[in-house]
Structure 1
């Protein structure tokens, strides 16, 4: 069922105003999506179904969302002048950042205007690329519980951290896709290889890494949190918790619901509300937490729909994309779950090509023979995260354990294509 929480206890510094009322004579809103990968394709369709006109922008031609948007443009989105020029030319009502490598100066300038709204807030977009800034916001400013962490700007500094903190430690890039460039240190000889792996990961070269203590947890959870503006101010809505785990670097498994104790669920919601309200804006936020019994630790937040939320395409009445579109347009939302479900996303490097070694029809027949299963294949190039989404397998069931087994079997069949 849908759950909401008033957020008067912690508001951001931005003015908390909702969208202008839409009257009968109001023209359809225009939405510009900055980033046109596979997830933006789903978001484009969600906006269009609500009557919006969508302009899909990306740094390369024939991006997935370009094929369904009303208009498209190819722009270097880390070029502030080029990005400002296309926004000025198209003059959308809403600018929605779906990619991470976007010129922050251009977004800040647009956000200061009265006639265009920017989502997520420029601050959220910047922090989504700054693990250090985000962690310091969560731990130091908001006082959220986290695993012990340190930052290092050289091999020598990382060695000093290891000598102070001990083993094991996880070393992560400051900005990279989940799991990319990460290492687990168990001895001093691991420090230098871990440093080079982390600073070489992602699409932003940074000579700085985060080291984090290993915390024994029961499950990693994504709590999709939708922030809207109601008649009395900001309100947050929570979806049922989504369990997720990375299967190496080439797959992500997620399932909904992930059962938590009442104490853990309350703690997760409190953490999510505080970080989301600090970031501000409207839309879907994927708040990632680590859960051990009743203890909950903040891990990350993504101010947009993400892969772990793909399961909502089958589990909820409104998917994460529909929720994001509704919240941005100022429409009502609900987070009703209609069935337990699971999903498994398969990845490859951004330059991967389909092997063509298996017959498509026979593979689909095998995958879809699994009870209550569904699949989506991603045929267009998708350069949004430095790795390519190949496809996703879904399954529903009376409980998430069965759904996970079904999704795994459907996904195993799909892998014959790659």
Structure 2
């Protein structure tokens, strides 16, 4: 059967090894494994994503090409019967083995093959993956990699949701995938334990390392009077799905995110009201920067009144000059034009040229002290569409410009 090209383009370069059944990893994790995952996460982030969008202009691939050939394959899928073929003779004496004496024990995505040779009397164990860790808290490398990779890439492992406040339903997309093709995967409990004890601490450690680096870059590039920051919150929509919010503070000069904070609507002070999450998270992130030695002279926000109020009232942030970002500044003016366009087809024709001109003016005069010049340049557009291309400078409104730019 010919597989359509669209199903070939994105294939993982690290296919997990396995035989057919599920089980759990009956071990405890250690900080040694956290260090290993930390190194892998750091390398993965520094190299960037391998995702390449598909294109219709790409050359046609061969129908029998089943590998993308990218990267180094670390794990392979091996069928159960093919695995047993590898144990045709004893590893120690080379004599033929009785297949009935071969025992296969599955542990998630890994397996252990054991047999007793009747000729030399040797007990021979073989493992499909190497074990990592120290002491008694060792785990199969592939099982751990499956759990961490599923967590980092957002694969849906078993989660629980509530339907009609009564029935609990388990969504097992990842495990259902394994069951469908007979692929051994770690159990839900083992995966969650690996994510909790290894994945999360490793990611947190990498984040802290990178955050210290970008903060030092920001401090080195800062002006003597301090830095300007852009602040915003994400995922805080009102309603059932607005249960978490991620607040971000970015250095406007270096374009680096120098602080981040995650909040939940059930935290004290928020009390289940999702619209309070952004202001709480922003204040927490700003306090963290100030405690870290940053001098913040200006903050740019999206006209969120709750954020402005909370930052104005707090003693650590009340002296920071508040400004609104340009997109939200011109947004109310667009609403005025929309209302006027309903009764005037001429204004409707000028909508796009006018707002393109506004963005041009903002780019040409970005500094606050140049706002009178930017305003005159905006007014020159209105003069231009009326057929007036030259005019006298006036003391109040037209001090800097006496003609339209063509």
- With the shorter chain as reference, the TM-score category is under 0.3
TM-score, length basis structure 2: 0.23
Bigger helix share: 2
Q: Work out which of the two has the higher radius of gyration on C-alpha atoms and give 1 or 2.
A: 2
TM-score, length basis structure 1: 0.22
Bigger strand share: 1
